[in-house]
A and B are shown apart, each in its own frame.
Chain A
Amino acid sequence: MNNIFKGRQLFQLINAHFRELMREPAVLFWGIVFPILMSLGLGAAFSNKQDIIRKVGIIKTTDSIATDTSSIINKFLLTYTTKDYHVNENTTYYSIIIKNKKLGNNTFLFEETNWKDAIIALKRGKLNVVMEEKNKAVSYFFDPINPDAQLTYIKLSKLFSATNNINSENTDNIKQLSLEGTRYIDFLIPGLIAMGIMMSSMWGISYTIIERRSKKFLRRMVSTPMKKSYFLISIVTVRFAMNFIEACLLFLFAFLAFGIHIQGSIPALILLFIAGNIAFAGIAIFISSNTSKTEVGNALINVVVMPMMVLSGIFFSYHNFPDWCIPIIQKFPLTIMADDIRSIFTEGAGFAETIKHSLILSFTGILFFIAGVKFFKWY
């Protein structure tokens, strides 16, 4: 009987908190729609190769292009390019599009210029390469450190030495690696799932607790025979359910829109997901154990969340950071979670690779939870 009564407490607490969240449309938007929009935006921006425009300056000789057909450059331009006047830039370009399905199309825009203007345009990044022809020899001028200019030069010189079928590159020997797991979106989605768990746990749990404390609702609740731990369990449970729904929807979207698959073990992924939730729920309870000011809560959450957002390799790999800080970054809970979700998604990892980290995350959460409950201020 007593157990039924206690069970009802927990059920009512969970039920009430869940209803409260579902009745805030903003919660649903930021929790579910926003991550999906973000994945769509970033995924689209980095996944599709767009046409690349490469601008080349041609140093004018005394004669105009149309008349002097003996020059190599002029012959090329007259044979292969189309002449266009660009009103916006008040410039006439000779353009050629080199089609390439695998690497993306390249459009070369040739523009007649003189040395003075060419130097300025190079400095401003308006031109990639400048060409000059003297005595039937073509010279290329560009900054050798700039990889983009270098690439333009390589492609250009290839163009000028080619004899036939100039409009498309021979790419038979290029084997695309944009199969499963190597695209940017494959990198991004696991990170977004991990970040979603962190963000909504930290903000959702901490804010609920701090707000209830500041409005004396906590005080009112513990003036009843309510079991205190049930209150915390109810908040964590509801947050876990929300995180699960959010992650599933994000994955479903990524599956439909980008064809993302989970290559590794799904049970291992579920365990990791639970462990990540425990870790951040514990940290959130610890952070909100003592303050009744939302401003303080804000600052505390940011102190925890911001470094991980930036460093944990959610959007871009942390391997570009200096070597000395990588071992530190790898110990952040968000890094651990993002890396392991990623390895399950794209490298086919299973329990063997992730169990240790799952346990570490769980223990971290439990330690923070215990410490938080010890300092917890109910009044």
Chain B
Amino acid sequence: MNILVCVKHVPDTETSVKIGADGKSIQTQDVNFVLNPYDEYAIEEALRIKEAKGGEVTLLSAGPENAKKSLRTGLAMGADKALHLVCPHQHDSLTLAQGLAEVIKTSSWDLVLCGKQAVDDDEAQMGVMLAQILDWPSVSTVIKLELGDGMATAHREIEGGIEVVETPLPAVITAQKGLNEPRYASLKGIMMAKKKEIAETPCSHSGSKIEVLDLSYPKARSGGKIVGEGAAAVPALIKLLHEEAKVL
């Protein structure tokens, strides 16, 4: 199996994000960037498939120079190779998907895995757009994946249940939390990752079909009142919810 995993370098979810001086992007100094959490599930799944069926796992990331850090993280987990599409500028997802698709088309793959969304822009559309541009089938938000001969069965999370989807390969699968438990990189893995080469490709796409006008903070919630302590405070709480907040 020749598997490609698309990954993104994003601010750690613990980050308290602040708006930058331009009002349109975030402050990046003192922000810890990490491999997008959903991409960890995608990498883990790829590694498990490789361990079961043989093959090779290649990582692909688009972004500025620091995207290489997340590629190193994935290599340390056990991926074999990494490609960096060097894109210093911001793009909309579709333009970026077109750029990634051009790189993907230069080789032949059995499967492309992506995280179901990146935790920075929360768009959750790269994987499916990529599939359409490649003219491949896709299954998104997958929590279980079984591979057969030239096909896959994927369990896709929907409201109130699970869709069991069968798809021929190659296909794009996007990983949801629950798919697996990602491994930690071993010390040996980290050492080996340093020696693995990251191949660079320049990004030929420029511009974005979406213009960012501004960023703002959501309305802050003001701390409310402590109604009381212990079970004795329950009647007072119920009264407030019923009469003041009018939600019961």
A, B from the same assembly: no
